[in-house]
Amino acid sequence: MSNNQLKFRLSSWLTLGCITLLQALSAPRFIFSACASLMEQNYHISHVQLNNLIVASETGRLFGFVSTAAATCFPAWMILFIGLVFGLVGYGVQCFCISNRIPALSFWQALLLNILAGNSSCWINTYCQLLATRNFKDSYRTIVEITSTYSGLSGKILTSIVEGIEGRKGSTNSSIYLLLTCLVPVAAGLIVALVHICLEFMEYGDSDVFPAVFVLIIATGVYTVIESVAPFFGFVSLRLRAVILALVLTIPFAVALLTAAADWFSAEKYHSQVTRRESNDSGESNPEKVSKEVKIAIGEEREADQKAGGEVDSDDKGLFKAGNDAGMKQLLLNVDFWMFYLVNACGPTLGMVYLNNLERITQSRSMGEASFLLEISSAFGFFGRMLSIMFHWYTREKSVIANPALTVLLMIPMPIAVFLLLDSNRCLYISTGILGTCSGALIVINSMTTSELFGSKNLVAKQTIVLTNIPLGSLLFGYLAAINYQNEGAGDHGVCTGLQCHHKTFIIWGSICFTGTILSFLLRLRTQNFYSQKS
């Protein structure tokens, strides 16, 4: 194996480790699940105003096109730096305010800080895409999709760290969550920056890390789910569990070192055998000839891969492609697009709203297990994303089941899970697992469906329009939950206790989710001819 191949394999696994580390530690969407009450108390805001802060954070994520445009003007390290600074300022100032180190913030200041903090993830995601594009030329889209699943583990990871620090299960110290949300992404960013400096000295190329990467995410997903629900882990030290989870994130780096060592040993052994054979045949060795032959073979393989990739890309046609790719005006007048938009709002977005209200829901039922439910949702969400990506990868050349049909199958359990929330506390765990799994899988599937149904022309703009359902859905569904909670409680700042606190909310959410399921079925019927022709 040549030195170039060694560098390609090493840089590929190091890049994979960098991206997974950033994605797993820089997605603070869960923060409102753990810090809702803390923010209400310190900002002296109502439940509705807290929901507005959540909407502000989600709105900040809509400005991802800014970081994408900046990537064409600034170096990659600067994109990462801007993202880390935005997150540090957005959550750091709030952390200092809550710990009484700076004067109290007004509601509008908190609103702007949450927009800034929400936008930080866009810059970090853009940096991850730059790394993936540079090192995985033909398969970078799949790598981006795979590594993005790790963003679902943020809640699980930081909850484990908080519990490890406090040494007790079900920690409710929200200030530590907020502090870690500031510091952990910066620490991860510094590690990635150091690795990136080393990668700059390597030649970049495409390295085949499949199916090893799938084995990695399967192992990670299985471990996180089992660790969250298996009774055996209840006897394991919380600090040890946090350390093990941290080691799981570093597996790509360990694989990089082991791969480099194994490849170097194999290369040395191969070259020594070739040298010995040539010495016996001609009396002198010619290592330059061997190296040249290896390089020629690598070049031929790379050209074949590029041709294969080009063939795949040329067949990637959306519903309006083939001479009629949907423009923005045509898209906004299309019934299928708005049905797809509402399915996203009534499915995965509703799941996010439920996650943001976990702390209030558990408090109303006197459970005090918001952190445990957050772990379950995070672990099962990762598992759902992982399964959907693997299914898409292994069936990409077959017509097994169309994405709209898969959406219908994943939407069906969601209204059932929401209506189960009306029952006992035991159903709360089951519903959280179902909503986490289905929402995670739908996020991945729906991002793929956008380009399939509506073409790749102006894809970033189309995806941005689709993503507006998240802040709008959070505003509407969260507002309904906050109003119902306040009506059952004692006014804006009152605490409500009992099953009746969210009874109306769960009925409304379940009805909305059921409507989304019907819409997904109608969308499947409307697009059936397209997918039958495509197959």
Residue carrying the six token digits 């991002």? 447
Rounded to whole angstroms, how far apart are CA atoms 80 and 398?
38
With H, G, I as helix, E, B as strand and everything else as coil, classify residue 205: coil
* pLDDT at position 321: 42
The residues, any chain, with a CB within 8 Å of residue 130's CB and separated by 6 or more, are 71, 76, 79
Asked whether 49 and 107 are in contact (CB, 8 A), the reply is yes
CATH superfamily of 326-535: MFS general substrate transporter like domains (1.20.1250.20)
Rounded to whole angstroms, how far apart are CA atoms 17 and 246?
12
Q: Following DSSP, what letter does each residue of 365-399 receive, concatenated?
A: TT---HHHHHHHHHHHHHHHHHHHHHHHHHTTTS-
Angle CA(389)–CA(390)–CA(394) in degrees, nearest 5?
Answer: 120
Q: How far is CA 41 from CA 44, 178, 478, in A?
A: 5, 14, 19
Structure tokens at 207: 């390295």
**What CATH number labels 1-274?**
1.20.1250.20
Q: What is the pLDDT along the chain (535 residues), one digit of tens a residue?
A: 555 666 677 778 888 888 998 998 886 677 787 777 788 888 888 888 999 999 999 999 899 889 989 998 999 889 999 999 999 999 999 888 888 888 888 899 999 999 999 999 999 999 998 888 887 877 778 888 888 888 888 888 888 888 888 777 765 566 788 888 888 899 999 998 888 877 665 545 555 677 788 888 888 888 888 887 777 777 888 888 888 888 888 888 888 778 767 766 665 555 555 555 555 554 444 444 434 443 444 344 444 444 444 433 334 444 444 334 667 888 888 899 999 999 999 999 999 999 888 888 888 887 766 778 888 888 898 889 888 888 888 887 777 788 999 999 999 999 999 999 998 778 888 999 999 999 999 998 988 888 888 887 788 888 889 999 999 999 999 999 999 888 876 655 667 888 888 899 999 999 999 999 999 999 999 998 888 877 6
The residues, any chain, with a CB within 8 Å of residue 62's CB and separated by 6 or more, are 464, 467, 468, 471
Angle CA(188)–CA(189)–CA(190) in degrees, nearest 5?
Answer: 90
CATH fold match for the domains 1-274 and 326-535? yes
Domain boundaries, the chain: 1-274, 326-535
Asked whether 464 and 451 are in contact (CB, 8 A), the reply is no
